[in-house]
Structure 1
Amino acid sequence: IDYVINITQLKEKNYDFIEHEMDGIVEECRGAGVISKVIFENCYLTEEEKRALCSIAREVRPDFIKTSTGFGTGGATFEDVALMKKCVGDEVKIKAAGGIRTLDTALRMIELGVSRIGSTASVSIVEELKHRL
């Protein structure tokens, strides 16, 4: 299950709401035996907000935190992935999504610590990898 955090509540610094919602959704996913992915939609967030979400995620422990839906004004950035990894360490996996269109970008995201990549260009990325190998 992928869900986007409540950006309005985050902007109001209602971290208790964010944590309660995340915990509830993650627990439902665990109970149903499905993977939970919490989407931050980083393109709309400040660094402080990203850090706050990472802190909450480190406590709640969803399976993944995710950079974006890929439908916002921006997608995954190297800076965001590095920040997220620094904040959650190995406690929570990271999925980078949005704007990943080349093998080099995907490989850099992996170097920075992502466990999954979401990309509409996945076929061309794999083809580029096969060509290089």
Structure 2
Amino acid sequence: MTLAARLDHTLLRPDANDAQVARLCEEAAAHGFASVCVPPCYVAPAAAKLAGTAVAVSTVIGFPLGYSTSSVKFKEAEVALYDGATELDMVINISALKSGRPEAIQAEVLDVADLCHVHQALLKVIIETALLTDAEIELACQLCVAGEADFVKTSTGFASRGASVADVALLRRVLPASVRIKAAGGIRTRAAALALVAAGADRLGSSHSLALISENDEPTAA
């Protein structure tokens, strides 16, 4: 698999505009990226722009802080799927994890995962590793597995740091092979991207996707 095929071409800046989203979609189709990740308000136009291509449309839920109520996240997911998203990146309730309420996180993940799977969509759960201890990362992974998430994602890109090789290696040790890993946040060079793949990342989220690929994109490790 090429590096391009692992990339979620991302534009989540608050000042993103119509022309930039259209260009993001064009670049994703031209380079064979896995998906575009766009703000919820841009799901419908991105889906229309990418119709007939192999590029998925993803968006964010409960983003970037994660402490929206479960009912609000569920509604966000419903609207995004209706608008044409086929992948959702949802932030866990980090406050609930820190407060010792893991059952709330598991229930929330399971509800949104069930909704996604009814629509043949994927759920990526963002645990924001920068804010968690290793023990909390392991617990969050266990809750994502119990909640039937398709991916565990390291970061929003809005915290103090993004993905690290150590984070990804820890996730890969804890998660079963059936649950994939998405690394995101601060991935700006091809070398950094390849190191994350080598550590176990299946998907990478970056707003610097074009800088990560070359004209002759070589296959990465399986």
TM above 0.5: yes
Aligned to 2:162: 75
- 1:20 to partner: Cα distance: 0.6
- 1:60 to partner: Cα distance: 2.4
| Alignment: residue pair count | 132
* Same amino acid, percent of matched pairs: 37
1:30 and 2:129 matched: no
- Greater helix fraction, Structure 1 or Structure 2: 1
Output the CA distance in 1 between the equivalents of 2:146 and 2:92: 15
Output the CA distance in 2 between the equivalents of 1:107 and 1:80: 15
Give yes or no for contact 2:91–2:126 (8 Å, CA) kept in 1.
yes
Instruction: Mark the structure with the bigger radius of gyration.
Output: 2
Runs of 4+ residues over 6 Å off in structure 1: none
Aligned to 1:97: 184
Aligned to 2:98: 11
1:59 and 2:151 matched: no
Unaligned runs of 5+ residues in structure 2 are 1-87
Output the CA distance in 1 between the equivalents of 2:148 and 2:200: 17
Aligned to 2:42: none
Output the CA distance in 2 between the equivalents of 1:8 and 1:42: 13
Output the CA distance in 2 between the equivalents of 1:103 and 1:112: 14
Helix, strand or coil at the partner of 2:213: helix
Aligned to 2:82: none
Q: TM-score, normalised by structure 2?
A: 0.56
Which residue identity lines up with residue 114 of structure 2 in the other structure? E
Which residue identity lines up with residue 152 of structure 2 in the other structure? I
Unaligned runs of 5+ residues in structure 1 are none
Output the CA distance in 2 between the equivalents of 1:60 and 1:107: 29
Q: TM-score, normalised by structure 1?
A: 0.92
